[in-house]
Amino acid sequence: MGEFIVAVKSLIVYNKKVLLLQKSGGEWMHNENKWEFAGGCLEFGESLSQGLAREVFEETGLTVRTDRLLCASTHVPASPAHQKQFVFLYYLSRADTDEVKLSGEHKNFLWACREQMIDLLDKPVWDDLVSNAIPDTLDIESRVASANGHGLRGKPLRHAGK
């Protein structure tokens, strides 16, 4: 019987652009060079906001303020050997700086505009975001500006180690 894995991802906005990270390989070699949003799998006992803050900080060195959940999607890897189904929760977040410190999981980053996201992200990811969360105008900045500067439950997200 397969297992479910919950992963949290953050669309981090700074100056009207969204942070994309390029995978460096590792455990999921078939994902090498793919572009993605910061985030990863929850650890046992973590809340969604704790897991998101930890993953974003580990991968980027950024402490972000999260506005809200954008959408959820699911993915089953093509290989029957995996026997895993991933549930992805995408959040909209805001950074106060563009100074990214990459972990070993990623080899490059880009503050991307809409056109770059369309070109670089896997089509199923982009389709999920557009159909479930983001209007055609992709007015990310106004969505973030509408937030009161606080994260989930009204508090900025902070990594536990900071």
Give the SS3 label for residue 103.
Answer: coil
- Amino acid 30: pLDDT: 58
Superfamily covering domain 3-152 = Nucleoside Triphosphate Pyrophosphohydrolase (3.90.79.10)
Dump pLDDT digits (tens) for 12-52: 999 989 999 999 976 655 577 899 999 999 999 999 999 99
pTM reported for the whole predicted model: 0.79
Lowest mean pLDDT: which of 6-15, 129-138, 140-149?
140-149
The half-sphere exposure of 25 on its side-chain side, counting CA atoms within 13 A, is 0
Checking if the pLDDT of 133 tops 60, the result is no
Q: Rounded mean pLDDT of 44-61?
A: 97
Query: If pLDDT is split at 50, 70 and 90, which confidence band does 10 have?
Result: very high
Query: What is the total residue count of the chain?
Result: 162
- Amino acid 12: pLDDT: 95
C-alpha torsion sign, points 12, 107, 132, 74: negative
CB 109 within 8 Å of CB 18: no
Dump pLDDT digits (tens) for 72-120: 888 887 776 778 899 999 999 999 999 999 999 999 999 998 889 889 9
